Chain A
Amino acid sequence: MAGLFRAAGLWAISTARKLGHMFLFLFNSFYFIFNPPFKFRLFLKQARFLGNKSLIVILLTGSFTGMVLALQLYYILRKFGSDALLGPGIALSLIRELGPVLSALMVTGRAGSALTAELGMMKITEQIDALTTMALNPIRYLVVPNIVAAILVFPLLTGIFNLIGIFGGYMVAVNLLGMSEGTYFSQIEAFVDMEDIRIGFFKSLSFGIIVSWICCYKGYYTGYGAEGVSKSTTEAVVISSILILIWDYFLGSVFL
């Protein structure tokens, strides 16, 4: 029994230490966000990297999510005679919940993993050490531009996801299910508030911080060799995805 407590204690200490290390990494990164010199060109490069790499995936998943939502919600709403609410149903689901969450998950899989792998490769080929030996802070050059880029790009991609999703829903609702264009859009206008958009925006912004933080951290402190990079990349995607869902639930319970 004592052995069990000891093991649990050691696990707790080790976990607390790892979490502390991760949060210090984040605080350190935020310190450099607000302290010059700012690396504007690196920020633009990383914004292009995150946005460009993920745009096609966002367009595809956004349109099909909207289309599936149209089919499923129409089936449910028709049972209650409320099929006129299909438009707002799709729009609210996307804006408040699915848009931020799914686009964050997609960006994690597409660009976040690439980010971890790139930083991991830089670590094992001593490029990060090379920066340090030049008296340059690697966090400022490699991490901060990614976090700032993610803060900008995640809400933008979420906005695109939402728009294309609503359009996908419209295609199915009007062309397949025979709903009138006017009903679909006018009900959206009536039911979607600025508050809903603000919640979605805040969610996507916080997901941007979470994903860039975890992916950069895992790459920056990757293990040895190709196996280390592969392990870090997998861990970055898994941890980011889990944190997105946990944080989404937390924010959902706060905002509702």
Chain B
Amino acid sequence: MIEIIDLYKSFDGQNVLNGVSMTIKDKEIVTIMGKSGGGKSVLIKHIIGLLIPDKGSVIIDGVDITGLDQKGIDRIREKMSMLFQGGALFDSLTLYENIAFPLKEKTKLGKDEIRDRVMQSLEDVGLRGMEKKFPAELSGGMKKRASLARALITEPEIILFDEPTTGLDPVIASSMHLLIKTTHEKYGYTGVIISHEVPRIFEITDRVAMLNDGIIEEFATPEDIKNSNNPVVKQFITGSVEGPIELF
């Protein structure tokens, strides 16, 4: 379980998170939506300890990670994976090497077992046969799928998705959603997704959090979000320029 309690973060005097609190249950998929530059990436970077909050706590399976030393935070990170916006695949490694990398570095698995798991992971994301390609040779959608394969390879308990469909066409974006859904069913991880893909993301998510002005405006099921009377949520879902969300 992930508990975020009263989280504050500012950069150069600009407040980004103003007391975010939310609880994400085991094995559920939660989507965080909100306007661009509104602090969604900042929020999930706190969950994996890439950022340290000014105030507040992030509790993962009962452990407050904000006060942990390097070894402690590394132990928590071993339960997690993160899929970055641009994929963050290592340029100098082939697709196979990229996906095998966490296993080679973090486990004592033999070559054959690593190979089997990498091939299975590539199969899961539909990239079998592409293992010798370098990231520069892959399309945007392939990079995202490859990044998902790398995130899945260690069979983590939690996967954080930072805009997994940004920059993809609607068909490929839907296939990425489907991929998240099928892999979630297969591996049973807890998923935290940052997405603007309204309403398509509602099909794969258990709950949706609306982040605005550094706080969670609403945190509810997709149905409740769709029927919400909160003007911020309404404006975001309809994509209207009129409403309480500041445009610039």
Interfacial residues, chain A to chain B (CB-CB below 8 A): 121-122, 125-127, 129-130, 132-136
CB–CB A129/B102 < 8 A: no
Distance of A220 Cα from B230 Cα, bound (Å): 43
A121 near B82: Cβ-Cβ < 8 Å: no
Q: Which of B73-125 contact A (CB under 8 A)?
A: 73-75, 77-78, 80-82, 84-86, 88-91, 101-102, 105-106
Main secondary structure of the interface of A (DSSP, over half): helix
- CB interface residues, B 41-85, toward A, < 8 Å: 45, 48, 50, 73-75, 77-78, 80-82, 84-85
Q: Which residue of B lies closest to A124 (CB)?
A: B86
CB-CB nearest in chain B for A125: B86
Contact A122 B91 (CB under 8 A): yes
Given contacts A122-B90, A127-B90, A135-B75, 8 further A-B contacts (CB under 8 A): A125-B91, A126-B85, A126-B86, A129-B82, A130-B84, A132-B77, A133-B80, A133-B82
A136 CB contacts on chain B under 8 angstroms: 105-106
Q: Which residues of A contact B102 (CB under 8 A)?
A: 134
> B89 contacts which chain A residues (CB < 8 A)?
127, 130
Ranked 8 nearest A-B pairs via Cβ: A130-B88, A135-B74, A135-B77, A126-B88, A133-B82, A126-B84, A134-B102, A127-B88
25 A-B pairs in the complex with CB atoms less than 8 angstroms apart: A121-B91, A125-B86, A125-B91, A126-B85, A127-B89, A127-B90, A127-B91, A129-B45, A129-B50, A129-B84, A130-B82, A130-B89, A130-B90, A132-B50, A132-B77, A133-B50, A133-B81, A133-B82, A134-B77, A134-B101, A134-B102, A134-B105, A135-B75, A135-B78, A136-B106
Q: How far is the CB of B161 from chain A (nearest CB, A)?
A: 12
Residue of A nearest to B45 (CB): A129
How many residues of chain B get a CB closer than 8 Å to chain A's CBs? 22
Chain B residues whose CB sits within 8 angstroms of the CB of A134 once the complex forms: 77, 81, 101-102, 105-106
Complex contacts, B74 vs chain A, CB 8 Å? 135
Which residue, of A129, A130, A136, has the highest number of chain B Cβ atoms within 10 A? A130
> Contact between A129 and B88 (Cβ–Cβ < 8 Å)?
yes
Partner of B106, one of A125, A130, A135: A135
CB-defined contacts of B105 to chain A, threshold 8 Å = 134, 136
Contacts of A135 in B (CB 8 A): 73-75, 77-78, 106
Chain A residue nearest in CB terms to B160: A133
B143 CB to closest chain A CB, in angstroms? 11
Chain A residues closer than 8 Å to B78, beta-carbon distance: 135
Q: Which residues of the other chain, B, contact A125 by a CB distance below 8 angstroms?
A: 86, 88, 91
CA distance A44 to B78 in the complex (A): 28
CA of A130 to CA of B89, assembled, Å? 8
Residue of B nearest to A131 (CB): B90
Q: List the B side residues contacting A133 at CB < 8 Å.
A: 48, 50, 77, 80-82
Residues from chain A with a CB closer than 8 A to the CB of B86 are: 125-126
